[in-house]
Every structure is written in C-alpha cells, then in structure tokens.
Amino acid sequence: MYSEKVMDHFQNPRNVGEINGASGVGTVGNAKCGDIMRIYLDIDENQVIRDVKFKTFGCGAAVATSSMATEMVKGKSVKEALSVTNKAVMEALDGLPPVKVHCSLLAEEAIHAALWDYAEKNQLKIEGLEKPKSDISESEEEEDY
C-alpha cells in the first residue's frame, strides 16, 4: 500500500516533538476525520528556519508526510519554506495512494499555519502567504472517497 520511503518515515519519523517558545505553531486538521497535524517552527532573525518539530494524530501517511515536510523546510528561509508544496512532499515520498493525498495537503497547510502564526506574532507580512483554513478536510471530503 505504501512506498518504502513512506514506511521509513512512518517507522522512523524525523523531528517529532515540541519546541518551547516556538516562533510559530500551526495546528490543522480535524479529529473527526482522523487527522490532526501540529508544526512548531524556530525561526532566527534572518528568517531562516533553525529548527522544526511536529506532532501528528493520524494514519501512516499523515505521519510520514509530516516527517518529510519538516525535513524539507528545516534550514530553509521562510520564503523557501513557502514553496514546499504538497506535491513536492508527495514526490519526495515516492507517491501516496490516492485516498491519502489529503494527508500531504495537511502537511503543506500545517507549515503555512505555523508561518502565519510567526508572521502574526512578529507583525510581518510574508508575501504569498494566506491565512490558513483551520480545517482543510471539508473541501476534500467529496473527492476523497
């Protein structure tokens, strides 16, 4: 069902945990649908993501996409992190089964939510960053069956 990379990231998830006093925290998803993702970002004064941690309640794909997404934004600038799309996360994992595509969207959304929190705390405007929807699962419901 899952690629080797997905299984690897599920079994040995990278960057699990919390960051005390994080620069930005984003939580997205919906327990009703069985997926909640939380991303913590530690961003330095040059707007570089120094550290990133995650916590996820969800299926194997949800854990693996969280793990991969954190790896992909770590050490990147805020601007670069914004360009990490769900497609990129999926490709890095060698693909996901069709019913699990929403998990990768959740990962992208969680990063954006954490960046939005960071921008708000610091009264910054990050170009290309939109206020995240708190629950992306609803828009996915129909095609996800």
Partner 1 sequence: MEQQLIYLDNAATTKVNPKVLEAMLPYFSEKFGNPSAVYGFASANKQAITEAREHIAEVLGAKTEEIYFTAGGSESDNWALKAAAEAYGSKGKHIITTKIEHHAILHTCEYLESRGFEITYLDVDESGVVDMEQLKEAIRPDTILISVMFANNEIGTIEPIAEIGKLTKEEGILFHTDAVQAFGHVPIKVDEMGIDMLSASGHKLNGPKGIGFLYIRKGVKIRSFVHGGAQERKRRAGTENVPGIIGIGAAAKLCAETMEERSAREKKLRDHLIDRVMKEIPYTRLNGHRVSRLPNNANFSFQFVEGESLLIMLDMAGICASSGSACTSGSLDPSHVLLAIGLPHEIAHGSLRLTLGEDTTLEQIDYVVDKLKEIVEKLRSMSPLYEDFINKGSEVAQAD
Q: Would you tell me which residues interact with partner 1 (CB under 8 A)?
A: 7, 10-11, 13, 16, 18, 27, 31-38, 55-63, 99-100, 137, 141, 144-145
* Residue ranges in 76-123 assigned as alpha helix (H): 78-82, 86-92, 101-121
7 burial type by CB count under 10 A (0-12 exposed, 13-18 middle, 19+ buried) = middle
Q: How far is the CB of 108 from partner 1 (least distance, A)?
A: 17
Q: Between residues 5 and 80, which has the closer beta carbon with respect to partner 1?
A: 5
Packed helices 60-73 and 101-121: angle between N→C axes, nearest 10 degrees: 40
Q: Residue type at 36?
A: I
Other beta carbons less than 10 A from residue 139's beta carbon: 12
> CB of 67: closest distance to partner 1 in angstroms?
10
Q: How far is the CB of 87 from partner 1 (least distance, A)?
A: 21
Catalytic residue selected from 7, 16, 33, 88: 33
Query: What are the structure tokens assigned to 13, written together?
Result: 């998830």
Q: Which one of the listed residues 103, 114, 115, 136 is annotated catalytic?
A: 103
Catalytic annotation present for 33: yes
Of 83 and 139, the one with the shorter C-beta distance to partner 1 is 139
Nearer to partner 1 by Cβ, of 74 and 102: the residue is 102
Tell me the sheet residues that pair with 30.
35
Active site residues per annotation: 33, 103
